[in-house]
Amino acid sequence: MKLGELADIPVEMGYRYIAVTDHSKGLGVARGLNEERIIEQRKAIAALNRKLRGIRLLAGVEINIRSDGSLDFGEEVMKGFDIVVASVHSGFKQSGAQITERIVKAMRNPYVSIIGHPSGRLIGERDAYEVDMEKVIETAAETGTAIEINAYPLRLDLTEPYIRRARAKGVSLAIGTDSHNRGQFGNMAFGVSLARRGWLEKKDVLNTRDLRALLATLSAKRRKKKS
């Protein structure tokens, strides 16, 4: 979809904002964007936002967590985005300790806002990788990193027991539709249902907050680096 078309989605869905989080360069199969292209997109989003009234497109990226735990982009690139989702897209057969350490390392980066589809499962196609979700949740609480509830029907990830555990630890959860086309924005209903089964209330979900509160929460983790 073109950015101009994306600007229609918040109006149709009754939202005040949506996040544009295309994949980074490490995920070639999804036509991930390199540094130059993602920065160009960020500038285009800023230009479009200057024309919009009452809604906002958040400039973001879904960045690949590499097999050694490093990220596709450096901090100089990441700090220019409103939101950075970090996800594992490869190395699924690594040991539980290796995959867990990759995710933990990503969460310790001050510019990583959310860990995407944390178990990596695809229902009926791929089992979850071996990850110590308790450690992921503990580190999320420690670092101020949110965890995604991925609403895509083949993912539905995080599962209810871990949603409850994250809530008990004070971790923010973000419901993401994983949309790659206009029709998939309706996935939000599945994510909301999953959140409810995990006993979440509105205050527990990052993207129920108004724009000012959302941006303040996202920037709080970055401010820790400066303190």
pLDDT digits (tens, 9 = 90+) for 47-86: 999 999 999 999 999 999 999 999 999 999 999 999 999 9
Structural domain that includes position 151: 61-226
pLDDT above 70 (res 29): no
Give domain status of residue 46, yes or no: no
Average pLDDT over residues 194-204: 97
Q: Is 217 left (phi over 0), alpha (psi -120 to 50) or beta?
A: alpha
Q: What is the pLDDT of residue 225?
A: 60
When pLDDT is cut at 50, 70 and 90, the band that residue 223 belongs to is confident
Number of domains in the chain: 1
Convert the pLDDT of each residue in 165-180 to its tens digit.
Answer: 999 999 999 999 999 8
Strand order in the sheet with 17-20: 17-20, 56-65, 83-88, 114-115, 146-150, 173-176
Q: What is the mean pLDDT of the chain?
A: 93
Q: What is the pLDDT of residue 215?
A: 95
Give domain status of residue 45, yes or no: no
pLDDT above 90 (res 3): no
Give domain status of residue 55, yes or no: no
Give domain status of residue 212, yes or no: yes
25-39, 66-80, 97-111: least confidently modelled range: 25-39
Closest CA to 106 of 137, 163, 64, 76: 64
* pTM: predicted TM-score of the whole model, two decimal places: 0.94
Give domain status of residue 171, yes or no: yes
pLDDT above 90 (res 30): no
Structure-model confidence comparison of residues 29 and 149, the more confident one: 149
Give domain status of residue 150, yes or no: yes
When pLDDT is cut at 50, 70 and 90, the band that residue 5 belongs to is confident
Q: For residue 66, how many C-alpha atoms fall within 13 Å in the half-sphere facing its CB? A: 9
Q: What is the pLDDT of residue 116?
A: 97
Would you say 111 and 222 are in contact if contact means Cβ atoms under 8 Å apart? Answer: yes
**Alpha carbons 36 and 33: distance in angstroms, whole number:** 8
Give domain status of residue 155, yes or no: yes
Instruction: Look up the CATH number of the domain holding residue 150.
Output: 3.20.20.140
Give domain status of residue 6, yes or no: no
